[in-house]
Amino acid sequence: MGFSMLGPVFRQMFKKPWTNKFPAKYQPSSTTKYLEAVGAGKVKLNPPVPTPPGFRGKIIYDKEKCIGCKLCLKVCPCEAIEFKEKDKKIKIYLARCCFCSQCNDICPTKCLSMSNEFLLADVDPYSKELIVE
Amino acid sequence: MSPEATTKTTYHVPIGPIHPALKEPVFFEFEISGERIIDIDVKLGHVHRAVEWASRKRNPIQILYLAERICGICSYCHPAAFTLAIEAAADIEVAERAEYLRVIQGELERITSHILWAGVAAHEIGFDTVLFLTWEIRERAMDLTEYLCGNRVTKGIMTIGGIRRDITKDMLPRIQKDLKYFKDNFGKLAHIFLDDKTIKMRSQGAGILTKENALKLCAVGPTTRASGIKKDLRADTSYFAYGDLDIDYITPEALTGEVNGDVYDRIIQRLLEVKQSIELIEQCVDKMPAGDIVSEPKIAKVLAQLKKANGEGVGRHEAPRGEVIHYVKLTGEDAPFTWKVRAPTYNNILPWIPMLKGEQIADIPIVAASTDPCMSCTNRVAIVNNGQRSLLNKEQLHRLSVEKTRRLMH
């Protein structure tokens, strides 16, 4: 056949679109109002595509288990971890984090782990949501 | 008007650094007579990011993630070559199972990259329906990558002495399912690319790179193999587990029985390599021995060992675009003394000149894209003096290189 792409193109016309409409099926007239409504529980978000097992998202820090050994500071490629000398604990700036989970691997007490939370966009890189301590 | 101005003359057409046909910044200057290209000049260096310099204050474990960010598509190849270099420099053993897992990751990346390229090539000749079809298949490869590594693009899978994530028994059905999907769709893709009239019209006889030129200009990867040169690092040397696997050189001859070295051959070459990669992953899944995935699970110990290490190492890996070379020198400090990266596109830039000479303007995008260029990987040096950019010629570069070698030796 001379034009072998014609078949797939016509078949595609009757297929369901692949795109997952996230966070809303249609563009809301006002994004801020829409988000407020979501916050108030009036509207439900169209769910995102589920993350795979072992996804590297926002870091979870178990402060009680941390012994302040500073090994994670040594391997962090982005220098996103700060050591708090006073209480011998760490502070992670997620705005700088590259989500490699190397700190999880080196931690001797396994006090760090990766969650599957990935909706971390923020206008302020130092907002409360983006600092783990 | 003076008489000189009315005589026949050629036009100079600048394309780039920012241009709709180019995905990444590179500057071309074409000398054109009518529609025909008489001469071309390429200038690089618009996306220099000082990656090698940034490594001077990081330890090898941190550099793994820096290497990953040299290229978005080769986000496995660069850490792989870097790890090979470090392992050679510090004599670190690698767990046997990890060698097979490394091959699986490398081949999966090749599948993703080649299918991505196939889509881009179709887009460059204005055949966007094929772009969407190929990227639908690529999406499955990306999903499999995400399933194996945790994330889609920055895989974070490589580590010194092994690999970070194992493939357990319960993961195998998903891998086999996806491999079957690739195999089924490979036929479809091959049918579209090899039999379609539009693609044949645009790619056959365009951008010819002769075997002689490919050898002379040191082209690497699919670009050189499409010209009939049997150069493939996976078969030439034995690194990772490639020595135990059944692998042979592939050239377009396997399908068409002849080598022309044109864009069409480069399309065939990449499609054949996708098929080869699927077979290699299957072999790895079958042959993979049980055991540990890292030789030293305590990263702090590895770092201590690297801090004591003295020596230099070269890591070579066959990336989707060709051979990538990393050189590392360790001098008993936290950070390596030097780290040098040579990405495959660096070698595949000069072949553009013989490929494009005599072609038409409309063929520039597809011919340039046929080597699968990746500019941000290639830019390793920029010379700036008092805010002025300057160019160095061959003699000056040679002198500087000799000086640097002497400095390294002392």
| Exposure string for A86-99, b = 16+ CB within 10 A, e = fewer | eeebbebbbbebbb
Instruction: Examine the domain organization and report whether A9 and A66 are in the same domain.
Output: no
Full domain range(s) for residue B193 = 53-378
Residue B1: pLDDT band (50, 70, 90) is: very low
| One domain, residues A90 and A28 | no
Structure-token pair, residue A11: 């078949």
pLDDT of residue B181: 93
CB A131 within 8 A of CB A94: yes
Q: Do B65 and A54 touch (CB under 8 A)?
A: no
Any domain includes B26? no
Does the interface predicted TM-score (ipTM) exceed 0.85?
A: yes
Which residues from chain A sit within 8 angstroms of residue B146, using beta carbons? 52, 55
For residues B90-109, average pLDDT:
93
Shortest Cα distance, chain A CAs vs residue B6, angstroms: 46
Residue A42 shares a structural domain with residue A72 = no
One DSSP character per residue, A89-116 reads EEEEETTT-----HHHHH-SS--EEE-S
Determine, yes or no, domain membership for B332. Answer: yes
The CA-based dihedral angle spanning residues B290, B294, B297, B300, taken in that order and rounded to the nearest 10 degrees: 180
Nearest to B319 by CA among B214, B389, B223, B398: B223
pLDDT per position as a tens digit, A76-125: 999 999 999 999 999 999 999 999 999 999 999 999 999 988 888 889 98
CATH number at residue B310: 1.10.645.10
Same domain, A60 and A99: yes
The answer as to whether B40 is a domain residue is no
Does B198 sit within 8 Å of A75, measured CB to CB?
no
Please tell me whether residues A77 and A118 are part of one structural domain: yes
In a domain, B209, yes or no: yes
**Residue B8 above 80 pLDDT?**
no
Mean pLDDT of A63-74: 91
Q: Do B62 and A106 touch (CB under 8 A)?
A: no
Interface-testing mutation among A75, A109, A120, with chain B (most B C-beta atoms within 10 A): A75
Specify the higher pLDDT residue, B310 or B6: B310
Instruction: Quote the mean pLDDT of chain B.
Output: 89
Contacts of A79 (CB under 8 A, 6+ apart): A73, A96
Residues of chain A with Cβ-Cβ distance to B300 below 8 Å are: 71, 74, 106
Domain contains B400: no
Mean pLDDT rounded to a whole number for chain A: 88
How many domains are contained in chain A?
A: 2
Does the pLDDT at position B30 exceed 60?
A: yes
Q: Is the model's pLDDT at A74 over the cut of 60?
A: yes
A44 and A64 belong to one structural domain:
no
Phi first, then psi: give them for residue B42, nearest 5 degrees.
Answer: -115, 135
Per-residue exposure over B305-330, b if at least 16 CB sit within 10 Å of its own CB, e if not: ebeebeebbebbbbbbbbbbbbbbbb
Binary contact (B299, A102; C-beta < 8 A):
yes
B105 located within any domain: yes
* B92, pLDDT greater than 60: yes
- Which of A2, A8, A55 lies closest to B197 in CB terms? A2
Long-range contact set of residues B231-237: C-beta below 8 Å, sequence gap at least 24: B232/B318, B233/B316, B233/B317, B233/B318, B233/B323, B234/B318, B237/B316
Q: Count of domains in chain B?
A: 1
Are residue A70 and residue A89 in the same domain, yes or no? yes
Do A13 and A68 reside in the same domain of the chain?
no
CB B263, CB B366: distance < 8 Å: yes
Query: Is B386 in a helix, a strand, or coil?
Result: coil
Chain A contact for B58 (CB, 8 A cutoff): yes
pLDDT tens for residues B365-408? Answer: 899 889 888 887 777 776 777 777 677 778 888 998 899 888 87
Longest pairwise C-alpha distance within chain B: 82
Q: Which structural domain, as residue segments, surrounds residue A116?
A: 51-133
Residue A5 and residue A70 in one domain: no
Last residue within a domain, chosen from A49, A64, A89: A49
Same-domain status, A45 and A69: no
Which site among A81, A102, A112 would you substitute to test the B interface, given the most B Cβ atoms closer than 10 Å to its Cβ? Answer: A102
Task: Flag whether residue B136 sits within 8 Å of chain A, measured between CB atoms.
Answer: yes
B401 located within any domain: no
Same domain, A90 and A128: yes
Which CATH number is A133's domain given?
A: 3.30.70.3270
Question: Tell me: the pLDDT tens digits for B303-359?
Answer: 999 999 999 999 999 999 999 999 999 998 889 999 999 999 888 988 999 999 999
pLDDT at B373: 87
- Within a domain: B254: yes
Of all helices (H) and strands (E), which one includes residue A83? strand A81-84
Yes or no, beta carbons of A2 and B196 under 8 Å apart:
yes
* Per-residue confidence (pLDDT) for residue B255, from 0 to 100: 85
Residues from chain B that touch A102, judged by Cβ atoms under 8 A, are 61, 65, 156, 299
Closest CA to A100 of B3, B61, B116: B61
Of all residues in chain A, the one with the smallest CA distance to B300 is A106
HEC readout, B81-130: HHHHHHHHHHCCCCCHHHHHHHHHHHHHHHHHHHHHHHHHHHHHCCCHHH
**B 25-44 residues with CB < 8 A to A:** none
Answer yes or no: do A125 and A87 share one domain.
yes
Interchain proximity B146–A2, CB inside 8 Å: no
* Whether B185 contacts chain A with CB within 8 A: no
